[in-house]
């Protein structure tokens, strides 16, 4: 009865009410930002005295915003590729391997996920200054890779554990080389795991701000860093315009992901 929507009786409406309010709560800031980006008030007064597109003009007129978006994208792309590859290889080791300390190793691999990012940021900052990686793309990629890898390993090990190893063994018994069997049998079967690893890695890097603030240099800033410094220094509604554009990109990405998922399934 409790797990049957139609037989919940009056409780049904309570659940619908809570869910509806929560959905409204979740969507409110997103809608609001979009509205704010068209307001004319420089000081974020809402409702604004008039509506305007000038913040979008300012966004596209300032090459630094677009540059930052480009940097963010290329860093996130590199992080995604490396994170999925390293994560895939490590996941095979973790799922298939039989060595002492395997569980400990698995726990260790997930630690960056729960470690407060600010600790890592401060530590890496001091370290990178010494070895000259600060303010370089390499430094950024490494820093983001450290926090993205756990998501990759988590998604891929989950998928691998759900995959029946005997199918791969059968391929090997039928004469395929182990590598061939993995590439042609196993990888396609765990593609959903690889896919979510890629999505999570990309988003982790794309959205990451704390590490990025420390890693950034005058000539190398990601979009979140640009938003952060603008938030702290100028507070102009250009931030709202930039954010709205980001939301549009996000929605586009989500639709793409949904379509790809459908494609993978069929």
Name the segment binding other proteins (CB under 8 A); options: 27-35, 51-59, 184-192: 27-35
Judged by CB under 8 A, does residue 256 bind other proteins? Answer: no
- DSSP assignment of 172-202, as one string? HHTT--HHHHIIIIIHHHTHHHHHHHHHHHH
Judged by CB under 8 A, does residue 119 bind other proteins? Answer: yes
Q: What are residue 222's phi and psi, to 5 degrees?
A: -90, 170
Q: Is 99 helix (H, G, I), strand (E, B) or coil?
A: coil
Q: How far apart are CA 31 and CA 23, in angstroms?
A: 12
Site for other proteins in 30-89 (CB under 8 A): 30, 32-33, 36, 42-47, 71, 74, 78, 81-82, 85-87, 89
| Shortest CB 9 distance to other proteins, Å | 7
| Shortest CB 240 distance to other proteins, Å | 8
Site for other proteins in 218-247 (CB under 8 A): 218-220, 223-224, 227-229, 231-236, 239-240, 243, 246-247
CA distances from 66 to 33, 156, 194, 242 (A): 19, 33, 30, 10
Nearer to other proteins, 53 or 129 (CB): 129
Nearer to other proteins, 154 or 198 (CB): 154
Name the segment binding other proteins (CB under 8 A); options: 51-59, 103-111, 184-192: 103-111
- DSSP assignment of 196-238, as one string? HHHHHHHHHHHH--HHHHHH-BTTB--HHHHHHHHHHHT--TH
Judged by CB under 8 A, does residue 254 bind other proteins? Answer: yes
Pairs from 25-33 (Cβ < 8 Å, separation ≥ 24): 30/247, 33/240, 33/243, 33/244, 33/247
Q: Which of 68, 76, 141, 198 binds other proteins (CB under 8 A)?
A: 141
Q: Which of 167, 173, 259, 264 binds other proteins (CB under 8 A)?
A: 173
Q: How far apart are CA 14 and CA 98, in angstroms?
A: 50
Name the segment binding other proteins (CB under 8 A); options: 51-59, 123-131, 184-192: 123-131
């Amino acid at each position: 009865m409790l797990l049957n929507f139609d037989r919940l009786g009056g409780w049904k409406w309570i659940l619908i009410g809570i869910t509806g309010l929560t959905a409204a709560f979740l969507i409110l800031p997103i809608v609001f930002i979009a509205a704010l980006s068209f307001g004319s008030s420089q000081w974020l007064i809402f409702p604004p005295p008039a509506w305007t597109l000038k913040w979008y003009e300012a966004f596209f007129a300032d090459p630094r915003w677009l540059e930052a978006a480009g940097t963010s994208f290329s860093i996130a792309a590199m992080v995604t590729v490396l994170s999925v590859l390293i994560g895939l290889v490590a996941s095979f080791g973790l799922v298939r391997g039989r060595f002492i300390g395997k569980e400990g190793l698995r726990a260790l691999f997930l630690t960056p996920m729960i470690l407060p990012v600010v600790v890592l940021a401060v530590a890496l900052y001091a370290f990178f200054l010494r070895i000259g990686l600060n303010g370089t793309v390499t430094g950024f990629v490494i820093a983001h890779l450290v926090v993205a890898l756990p998501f990759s390993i988590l998604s891929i090990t989950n998928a691998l554990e759900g995959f029946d190893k005997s199918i791969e063994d059968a391929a090997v018994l039928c004469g395929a080389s182990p590598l061939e069997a993995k590439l042609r049998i196993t990888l396609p079967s765990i593609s959903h795991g690889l896919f979510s690893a890629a999505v999570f890695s990309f988003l982790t890097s794309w959205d990451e701000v704390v590490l990025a603030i420390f890693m950034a240099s005058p000539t190398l800033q990601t979009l979140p860093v640009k938003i952060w410094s603008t938030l702290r220094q100028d507070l102009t509604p250009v931030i709202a315009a930039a954010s709205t554009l980001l939301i549009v990109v996000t929605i586009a990405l989500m639709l793409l992901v949904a379509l790809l998922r459908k494609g993978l399934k069929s």
